[in-house]
Amino acid sequence: MTAEDTINDMRMRATKHLAEAGSREEIIAWERAFLGPKGELTLFLRRLASLPVDERPTAGRGGNALKTELTEAWNARHAALVAGDLEQRLATDAVDVTLPGRPPILGAAHPVSQMIDELSEIFALLGFQTVFGPEVETAHYNFDVLNIPKDHPARDVWDTFYVDLPGEIVLRTHTSPMQGRVMEQTQPPVRVVVPGRVYRYEAQDASHEWMLHQLEGLAVDRAITMADLKGTLSEMARQLFGSERRTRFRCDFFPFVEPGVDFAVDCAICGGAGCRVCKGSGWLEMGGAGMVHPNVLRAVGYDPDVYSGFAFGLGIERLTMMRSGVDDVRAFAGNDLRFLRQFARAA
C-alpha cells in the first residue's frame, strides 16, 4: 500500500468514527487515537523519513493536509456536542421564576447562649456589667488569689486539667479567676458578671459535665451584706423562673468566701417530688455563693475593714435545665438537631 493509499484509508476511518462519536468523552478518545502524541496520523508523519525518497513529498503534503482537515472536523464536532449538552442541561435545570423562593435554612442561638444573654440582661437591670475572661488561666488567678493554697485538693491533677504543669497553667475550673483580674484593675464599687466555659476533671452524669458554663457574679462596695446577696439571687430566680419557684440557701464552704452558701431552686423537673436530676431531694443546686473572703480582698489591694462584697457562681446549664424542663445536662453538648431546634427562636 502506497503512502497515498494509507492517507486515504486513515481519512475514511477517522471521518466515520468521528461522525459516530456521540459524547464529549468519545471525541476526546478519538482525538487521542488519531491526533494525539501517539495517534495514528502523528506516528505516520514521524515515519516519513523511512519512506522512499520519491514518495516523501506527496506523503508529507497529504499527511499535513489530513491533519488540518481532521483538526477542523474535530473542533466542529466538539463545539456541536458542547452546545447540545448545554441545551439539554438548560432544559433539564430550567427554573420556574413564578414559583415562590425557597427560604434558606437559618441557624439559631444555642440554648446555653440564649441563657447567657438573658442572664446578662437580668443582671444589667440589677446594676451589673458583663465582662469576659480567658479560659486558659494561670494558677495564680485560678487558685492563689482565691485563697486556695497549694495543698488544697482542688488543685490536684485528678480535679483540674493542667495545660503546663511546671508553670501551673490550667483550663480554668471556674469563672472566679476574673474576681482577681477585675478588682486589680478597678476601684470599688465593683459589680460584674462573668459568663463562660469552665472545665472539671469529673465523671459525667445527668447533672454533671466535664465542660460546662458558669456565670460568676461579684459585687464589692462599702457595707455590702449577706442580705444583698440573697436579694440579688432571689430576684434573679424570680425573673428567670417566675414567682412560683422557691429558693433555698444553705451553709456551705468555699475557700474564697466566708460565710459561704449553696444556692438551690426547687426542682422544676419533678415539682419537688424527687427525681434523678435532683437526686431525689426535690432541690437542684444552681451554684455556690457567699461573702468575699477578706484574704481575697487583701490579695488585690482592697482593705477588708473598709470594703465588703459578695460573689456567686451559677451553673448555666443547670439554669437552662430548670427553665426548659430538660432532664439531662449532656443533651446541651450532644449537638442533636432535633433537640436544639426546640429552642430556636423565631426571627
pLDDT value of position 2: 79
Phi-psi region of 274 (alpha: psi -120 to 50; beta: other; left: phi over 0): left
**pLDDT range class, residue 205, cuts 50, 70, 90:** low
CB atoms within 10 A of CB 227: 9
Does 248 share its domain with 126?
yes
Does 144 share its domain with 269?
yes
Of these residues, 3, 59, 190, 257, which one is catalytic? 257
Amino acid at 328: D
pLDDT of 101 over the 90 cut: no
d(CA 117, CA 135): 19
CA-CA-CA-CA dihedral for 250, 253, 258, 259, to nearest 10: 20
Does 78 share its domain with 123?
no
pLDDT value of position 84: 81
Does 49 share its domain with 135?
no
pLDDT in tens, 273-299: 787 777 788 888 888 999 999 999 999
Does 63 share its domain with 140?
no
Give catalytic status of residue 214 as yes or no.
yes
Of these residues, 139, 214, 237, 277, which one is catalytic? 214
Does 11 share its domain with 63?
yes
Give catalytic status of residue 257 as yes or no.
yes
Does 51 share its domain with 126?
no
Helix residue ranges per DSSP H, the chain:
3-20, 24-34, 40-46, 56-92, 111-125, 139-142, 177-185, 226-241, 294-299, 316-324, 337-340
CB atoms within 10 A of CB 210: 13
Of these residues, 95, 102, 158, 347, which one is catalytic? 158
Averaged pLDDT for residues 227-247: 90
Does 207 share its domain with 301?
yes
Does 279 share its domain with 174?
yes
CATH of the domain at 147: 3.30.930.10
Q: Would 88 be classed as within a structural domain?
A: yes
pLDDT in tens, 113-158: 999 999 999 999 999 999 999 999 888 888 889 888 777 776 665 4
Q: Would 100 be classed as within a structural domain?
A: no
Q: Would 103 be classed as within a structural domain?
A: no
Average pLDDT, the chain: 85
Does 321 share its domain with 190?
yes
**pLDDT range class, residue 346, cuts 50, 70, 90:** very low
pLDDT of 165 over the 70 cut: no
- For 269, the domain range is 111-343
pLDDT value of position 126: 94
Averaged pLDDT for residues 37-57: 81
Of these residues, 264, 311, 326, 331, which one is catalytic? 311
pLDDT of 230 over the 90 cut: yes
Give catalytic status of residue 200 as yes or no.
yes
d(CA 315, CA 296): 22
Q: Would 246 be classed as within a structural domain?
A: yes
Does 323 share its domain with 278?
yes
Q: Would 102 be classed as within a structural domain?
A: no
Averaged pLDDT for residues 241-261: 89
d(CA 277, CA 275): 5
Number of compact structural domains in the chain: 2
Does 64 share its domain with 173?
no
Of these residues, 155, 174, 213, 293, which one is catalytic? 174
Give catalytic status of residue 174 as yes or no.
yes
Residue count of the chain: 347
Cβ-based neighbours of 127, under 8 Å, separated by 6 or more: 191
pLDDT value of position 277: 72
Of these residues, 110, 197, 200, 238, which one is catalytic? 200
Q: What is the CA radius of gyration of the chain?
A: 39
